[in-house]
Amino acid sequence: MKLALEMRSVSKRYPGTLAVDQVSLEVQAGEVHALVGENGAGKSTLMKMLAGSFDDYTGEIAINGQVVSLHTPALAKKHGVGMIYQELSLAKPISIAENLLIGRLPTKFGFLDKAKLRSETKYWLEQVGLGLNPDLPVEDISPHEAQLVEIAKVLASNPSILVMDEPTSALSREEVERLFSIIDGLKKKGMAVVYISHHLPEIDRVADRVTVMRDGKKVATKAMSETSRQEIVQMMVGTLKEETHNTAARTPGKEILRIENLSRWGFFHGLNLVGHAGEIVGICGLAGAGRSELARVLVGLDKKDAGKMLIDGREVNITSMAQALRVGIAYLTEDRKAEGLALRMTVGENALVGIIPRHSTAGVYFAKRGHSLLGRLMNELVVSPNDPGRMVGNLSGGNQQKVLLAKWMASEPRVLILDEPTRGVDIGAKMLIHDSIKKLADGGHCILLISSDLPELVGLADRVMIMRKGRFSREMPRSQCTEESVLMAAYEGGV
Residues 143-172 that bind other proteins (CB under 8 A): 143, 145
Cis peptide bond upstream of 388, omega within 30:
no
Backbone angles phi, psi at 54, to 5 degrees: -120, 140
Query: Which of 60/113 has CB closer to other proteins?
Result: 113
> Is 19 or 51 the residue whose CB approaches other proteins more closely?
51
Q: How many residues of this chain interact with other proteins, rule: CB under 8 A?
A: 90
C-alpha neighbours within 13 Å on the C-beta side of residue 360: 10
Q: Which of 102, 427, 431, 487 binds other proteins (CB under 8 A)?
A: 102
Contact between 371 and other proteins per CB under 8 A: yes
Q: Which residues are paired to 477 by β-bridges?
A: 463
Exactly one of 6, 279, 349, 453 binds other proteins (CB under 8 A); that residue is 349
Task: Rule CB under 8 A: say whether 51 interacts with other proteins.
Answer: yes
Smallest distance, Å, CB 494 to other proteins?
11
Q: Does 55 bind other proteins (CB under 8 A)?
A: no
CB contact set of 19 (below 8 Å; sequence gap of 6+): 12, 13, 42, 45, 216
267 forms part of the interface with other proteins (CB under 8 A): yes
Counting contacts by CB under 8 A, is residue 115 touching other proteins?
no
- Angle of helix 173-188 relative to helix 143-156, nearest 10 degrees? 10
> Per CB under 8 A, does 391 bind other proteins?
yes
CA torsion, points 380, 381, 382, 385, in degrees to nearest 10? -120
Stretch that binds other proteins, among 138-146, 175-183, 194-202, 435-443 (CB under 8 A): 138-146
- Which residues, numbered 275-314, are part of the site for other proteins (CB under 8 A)? 288, 290, 293, 301
Cα atoms in the Cβ-side hemisphere of radius 13 Å centred on 405: 33
Residues 207-266 that bind other proteins (CB under 8 A): 265-266
Give the nearest distance from C-beta 148 to other proteins in angstroms: 11
Q: Report the alpha-carbon angle 144-150-151, nearest 5.
A: 95
CB of 360 to other proteins, least distance (A): 4
Question: Least Å distance between CB 231 and other proteins?
Answer: 35
The answer to whether the CB of 57 falls within 8 A of the CB of 49 is yes
In the chain, the amino acid numbered 312 is: D
Binding of residue 386 to other proteins (CB under 8 A): yes
Q: Which of 356, 442, 484, 488 binds other proteins (CB under 8 A)?
A: 356
Single out the residue of 62, 105, 382, 431 in contact with other proteins (rule: CB under 8 A): 105
Strands (E), 126-173: 161-165
**Nearest to residue 145, comparing CAs of 96, 91, 183?**
96
**343: helix, strand or coil:** coil
Which residues in the 399-438 window bind other proteins by CB under 8 A? 407, 411
Give the binding range for other proteins (CB under 8 A) out of 32-40, 181-189, 210-218, 335-343: 335-343
1-9, 88-96, 203-211, 395-403 -> range binding other proteins (CB under 8 A): 88-96
Q: How far is the CB of 403 from other proteins (least distance, A)?
A: 11
CB of 111 to other proteins, least distance (A): 5
Helices (H), 171-272: 173-188, 200-206, 229-237
Tell me whether residue 29 or residue 343 sits nearer to other proteins (CB atom). 343
Among 169, 333, 451, 452, binds other proteins (CB under 8 A): 333
Using CB under 8 A as the binding rule, the residues of this chain from 427 to 486 that contact other proteins are 469-470
Ordered alpha helix ranges (H), 358-396 = 371-380
4, 7, 25, 141: which one binds other proteins (CB under 8 A): 141
Nearer to other proteins, 132 or 210 (CB): 132
SS3 content of the chain, % helix, strand, coil (to 5): 35, 30, 35
**What DSSP assignment string belongs to 88-116?**
----TTSBHHHHHTTT---EETTEE-HHH
Q: What Cα–Cα distance (Å) separates residue 455 from each residue in 167, 245, 481? A: 20, 9, 10
Task: Please tell me the distance from the alpha carbon of residue 116 to that of residue 122, in angstroms, as a whole number.
Answer: 10
Q: Which residues between 7 and 46 bind other proteins (CB under 8 A)?
A: 15
* Nearest distance in Å: CB 118, other proteins: 13
